Amino acid sequence: MAIISADVDVAVSFLEKGEVIGFPTETVYGLAGNIYKVDAIKQIYSVKERPLKNPLIVHIASINQLHEVAKNIPEKALAMVDTFWPGPLTIVLEKKDTVNDIITAGKNSVAVRMPNHPLALAVINKLNAPIAAPSANPFGTISPTSATHVSKYFNDKIPFILDGGNCISGIESTIIGFKEGNPILYRYGSLPVEDIEAVIGKLEVFTSNENSPEAPGMLHKHYSPKTKTILTSSLAEAISANANKRLGIVSFTNIQVTNTAIVHNEVLSPSGSLREAAYTLYAALHILDTLDIDIIIAERMPNEGLGLSINDRLERAAHA
Ligand code: TXA
Ligand code: MG
C-alpha cells in the first residue's frame, strides 16, 4: 500500500534511499527517481513496464542543474528557458556524462524541464539532485492527473505518492528538440505552439514514426482507455451511427443531442475554454473507462492553441 501524503521531507527521504515515488507536476503526475540512483532508474522502467529504448525526462529546479545535465545549449533554447520555465516545456539538449545512459536510452541527448509545481520544486531543491520521471501510468494507458489516479495504477508497486492535488495544466509538457540548430516540435503539449513561436520563430513539426530514433515513444497508439474510442467532428452523426450501443461521450461544451444510447457525458468545458478542457480531459477519460459502456465517442476540439494538443491525445487514444 502506497502512503499518500503532501509531506515533502518524506518524499525526499524515499528518493535518497533510491526508491521510486509518485510525484506531482503541473502537467501530469510522474513516476520519480533520483537521477544519481541507478537502481531507482531501472525500477522506473520496470514499474511502468516501459521499453528501455524510450528515454525519461529529467526534472530540475534551477539553472545550475540545467548545466549539470546538458551542454552546448542553443541560444533559442536559452530564450525558451527564460520565458517559459518553470513551466510545461521540455527541451531536448546535448547531454553531459553526469546523466546515466539508462535515463536517455543510450542517446547523447537528454530531455529536461523545470516543472511549475511548488511541491515538485521543493522536493528537487531539498534532494539537491535532478529527478527522472515519465508520466505515472503503465505504458500506453491514460495519464494520471491526481494522486488517486497514480494509486489506482501503482498502489502495490511504489511505497509513496506525494499528493500535490489535481494537475492544473492537465496534459503533458510540450517537447522541443533541435536539428542542426533549428527547433523541432516533438510533442504537442500544455504549452501552446503559438506561444513558443512568438519567442523563437516558426517550428518544424516532427512527423511521428514509431521507429524514429530522434523521438522514441511518439507512438500512434498511446494515452488509451481500455474502452474502444472514436474521435469525431460531428457528435450528432457519430451518436446516431452508434445508437445501438452504450455510449460514453466526451464533448467540448454542452451537447444538444439527446439519445437513449448515451449512458454518460463528460463535458470538458461548459464555457468553451481550451485551457479548462486540457485540465479536465484525462480525468474524464478515467471516469468513462470505469463505466459499463461499449464505445467512447470524443469530440474533436478546434484546431488551434491547446486544441491541437488535446486533439493529438484524442487521436492517439482512438488509434486502432
Ligand atoms: O509533462 C510531462 O512531460 C510529464 C511530467 C511527469 O513531467 N512527463 C512525461 O514523460 O510525459 P513521458 O516519459 O511520459 O514522456 C516523455 C517523452 C517520451 O515520449 C520520450 O520518448 C521523450 O519524452 N524523450 C525523452 N528523452 C528524449 C530524448 N533524449 N530525445 C527525444 N525524446 C525524448
Ligand atoms: Mg507518458
* Ligand nearest the Cα atom of residue 143: 2
Q: How far is the CA of 101 from the centre of ligand 1 (A)?
A: 15
Atom 15 in ligand 1: which residue has the minimum CA distance? 134
At residue 141, the pLDDT reads 94
At residue 211, the pLDDT reads 59
> Of ligand 1's atoms, which has the minimum distance to the CA of residue 57?
25
Cβ neighbours around 255 below 10 Å, total: 16
Best mutation site among 57, 73, 210, 212 for ligand 1 pocket (most ligand atoms within 8 Å of CB): 57
Q: Is 171 in the pocket of ligand 1 (CB under 6 A)?
A: no
Element (H, E) at 229: strand 228-232
* Ligand nearest the Cα atom of residue 109: 1
Q: How far is the CA of 236 from the centre of ligand 2 (A)?
A: 31
At residue 110, the pLDDT reads 98
Residue reference for cell 546515466: 100
Task: Tell me what percent of the residues of the chain surpass a pLDDT of 90.
Answer: 92
Q: How far is the CA of 143 from the centre of ligand 2 (A)?
A: 6
At residue 214, the pLDDT reads 64
Q: Is 143 in the pocket of ligand 1 (CB under 6 A)?
A: no
Residues 6+ apart with CB under 8 A from 147: 4, 22, 24, 29, 161, 162, 163, 164, 165
At residue 43, the pLDDT reads 98
Q: How far is the CA of 247 from the centre of ligand 1 (A)?
A: 32
Q: How far is the CA of 213 from the centre of ligand 2 (A)?
A: 17
What DSSP letter does each residue of 89-143 carry, written as one string? EEEEEEEPTTS-TTTTTT-SEEEEE----HHHHHHHHHHTS-EE--BSS-TTBPP
At residue 157, the pLDDT reads 98
* Ligand nearest the Cα atom of residue 218: 1
Ranges of the chain with pLDDT below 70: 208-217
Q: Give the end-to-end CA distance of the chain in Å, rounded to a whole number.
A: 34
Sign of the Cα torsion 176, 96, 98, 63 reads negative
Predicted TM-score of the model (pTM):
0.96
At residue 135, the pLDDT reads 98
Q: How far is the CA of 56 from the centre of ligand 1 (A)?
A: 5
* Ligand nearest the Cα atom of residue 106: 1
Model confidence pLDDT, tens digit, residues 65-104: 999 999 999 999 999 999 999 999 999 999 999 999 999 9
Ordered structural domains, the chain, with CATH: 3-172 (3.90.870.10), 228-318 (3.40.50.11030)
Task: Report d(CA 175, CA 23) in Å as an integer.
Answer: 20
Cell digits for 223?
494515452
Best mutation site among 84, 141, 172, 222 for ligand 1 pocket (most ligand atoms within 8 Å of CB): 172
Model confidence pLDDT, tens digit, residues 191-224: 999 999 999 999 999 886 655 656 665 777 788 8
Q: Phi and psi at residue 298, in whole multiples of 5°?
A: -110, 140
